[in-house]
Structure 1
Amino acid sequence: MQNLSLAPAHQFSTVRFVLTDMDETLTYQGRLPADTYMALERLQASGICVLPVTAAPAGWCDQMARMWPVDGVIAENGGLFFRRSLLGHDVERHHWHPSDSLEDIRNRLHSIAKIVEKAVPQAQQADDQAFRLTSLAYRRTGTDADHRIVDALIGAGADATINNLWVLGWIGGYDKLSMSLRVLVGNYGIDVESATELVAYSGDSTNDAPMFGFFKHTVGVSTVIEYLPQLPVPPKWITNGPGGAGFVEFADAILKSRQGEDRETT
């Protein structure tokens, strides 16, 4: 892992898609800086396809897909994909699970929640749980209770992980990476092999591990250093700034590479 400022000018010249975590990668301490929002817009204006890939609830991501300068949003750690319609006022939803199984999934999650909360009485659902469609989220405590919640989720038949805000549980065996690859293939015609070269990813915590391990162009904002012991593969680059400030560094590096490529082709 090297500081992003040391990256060669052409490092990201093949990048056509920017996939990025949201919480504490685009945001910092829960707020979205104006410069970060503008960086998303600058990337999109340059022809880069921008897709946040987040554990955030469907309710947040619906709004992001409708109004932000992004091309779509993968929500709830891979549970569903939102994409603005051609008319610009509606949003298409693509779930990981077949549509005829969604009610069963919701019922199973409800049953799992009861098991978790009986096993770990101090477990508290996140205040955004009401806006989730495919996952459970519990407030992090910073104690061993977080790991006991993970164990209870897994014991009840769910997949589980911890990020910087929540302890997360879901059903289906997917993660950020598997849904990202499905979206790239199904919606953009990018095969898995090509994706390794065409995609750049930025993140900050443990649920970004599959992305850091798969893609060639990966960047961690500075706070990723807190999670390195839990990451089997670290990001290739690290920014100086945390959260949104780090993402701006990432966007600038990509745009600089594209400008260099444009000069070489003219």
Structure 2
Amino acid sequence: MLIPLVDAQFFREIRFIATDMDGTLTQGEKFTPALFQALESLAEAKIEVLVTTGRSAGWVHGVKHYFPVAGAIAENGGVFYAHDSDIPQMLTPITDISQHRQKLAAMFDQLREQFPQLQEAEDNRFRLTDWTFSVAGLGDRDLQTLAKICQQEGWGFTYSTVQCHIKPLAQDKATGLQVVLDRHFPQITPQQLVTIGDSPNDESLFDRDRFPHSVGVANVLPYRDILTHCPTYITTLPECAGFCELVSLLVKK
């Protein structure tokens, strides 16, 4: 059962937000003035924000530079950029990036033998740990089949409203987030953290055993029947409007 966010009681405790980006910080695939106003309100309230996204390491480097955030995790838990550093920190141990990417490309080619319509994402050239292709035109059954093939070959698979990801088996947002918290924000307790997202690649952030205060923006609802972990709380509004709904409750606590 998803609890309406307005009924939550944790607001006074929160000092840190770990948030997805696409479909959570965006509105209609765009960043809006409302987002930046919300981020400024959080900064004034001394609540830190960490972006955790499936976007590429190259793309996220810019996000952490221009957004008022403590840092950003890219590639669904694979890479971290601290706000004050341009050096990517690998969260998934990979000894040979070049060889790793060759193996990812081979896995993608194998998927295309069964799904020839798959379109490689243009941002793969900026990626380190995973391989992406467009989710457009893929139904639930297709996505389940793709996940099964990847798992049989020793790879993980996830998807968002934007892309599908072939990734190392143990790589996910929750694992990457925990590494970043332990290394850089050890003072933050689970009770002081809220996680928020909107799609299956955020599922690990909804694990109540790890993150008791998890929130789904309203556009997560179409996925609730296929998620092993559902968010504890749900916003009234979708996308960035839902994120702003959370921010409003936090800064007025």
> Please, what TM-score do these two structures have when normalized by structure 2?
0.91
1:72 corresponds to: 71
Higher percent of residues as helix: 1
| 2:80 counterpart SS class | strand
How far apart, CA to CA, are the structure 1 residues paired with 2:146 and 2:115?
Answer: 6
- Once the two structures are superposed, residues 95-144 of structure 1 have per-residue CA deviations (whole angstroms, 9 ceiling, x without a partner) of 12346433332222122222222232121112322322211112112324
1:260 corresponds to: none
Structure 1 vs Structure 2: percent identity of aligned residues? 30
CA shift for structure 1 position 79: 0.6
1:231 corresponds to: 227
The residue identity in structure 2 corresponding to 1:188 is F
How far apart, CA to CA, are the structure 2 residues paired with 1:195 and 1:159?
Answer: 28
How far apart, CA to CA, are the structure 2 residues paired with 1:172 and 1:154?
Answer: 8
CA shift for structure 1 position 3: 1.7
Are 2:183 and 1:189 aligned? no
**What is the root-mean-square deviation in Å for CA atoms of aligned residues?**
1.8
- Residues 150 and 167 of structure 1 are in contact (CA less than 8 Å); yes or no, is this contact kept in structure 2? no
Q: Which 5+ residue runs of structure 1 have no aligned equivalent?
A: 258-266
- Once the two structures are superposed, residues 204-242 of structure 1 have per-residue CA deviations (whole angstroms, 9 ceiling, x without a partner) of 111212111131111111111111102223212211111
1:4 corresponds to: 5
Count, aligned residues: 248
Distance change >3 Å, CA 92–CA 47, structure 1 → 2: farther
| 1:51 counterpart SS class | strand
Q: Between Structure 1 and Structure 2, whose CA radius of gyration is higher? A: 1
1:131 corresponds to: 126
- Residues 74 and 180 of structure 1 are in contact (CA less than 8 Å); yes or no, is this contact kept in structure 2? yes
- Residues 49 and 70 of structure 2 are in contact (CA less than 8 Å); yes or no, is this contact kept in structure 1? yes
1:219 corresponds to: 215
Distance change >3 Å, CA 164–CA 221, structure 1 → 2: same
Deviating 4+ runs (over 6 angstroms): none
| 1:92 counterpart SS class | coil
Counterparts of 1:107-122 in structure 2, within 5 Å, are: 107-122=102-117
- Residues 123 and 145 of structure 1 are in contact (CA less than 8 Å); yes or no, is this contact kept in structure 2? no
How far apart, CA to CA, are the structure 1 residues paired with 2:198 and 2:77?
Answer: 17
2:237 corresponds to: 241
How far apart, CA to CA, are the structure 2 residues paired with 1:125 and 1:145?
Answer: 16
CA shift for structure 1 position 180: 0.3
The residue identity in structure 2 corresponding to 1:198 is Q
How far apart, CA to CA, are the structure 2 residues paired with 1:142 and 1:108?
Answer: 23
CA shift for structure 1 position 173: 1.0
| 1:128 counterpart SS class | helix
- Residues 94 and 100 of structure 2 are in contact (CA less than 8 Å); yes or no, is this contact kept in structure 1? no
How far apart, CA to CA, are the structure 2 residues paired with 1:26 and 1:75?
Answer: 15
Distance change >3 Å, CA 195–CA 211, structure 1 → 2: farther
Out of 83, 97, 103, which is 2:92 matched to? 97
> Please, what TM-score do these two structures have when normalized by structure 1?
0.86
1:199 corresponds to: 193
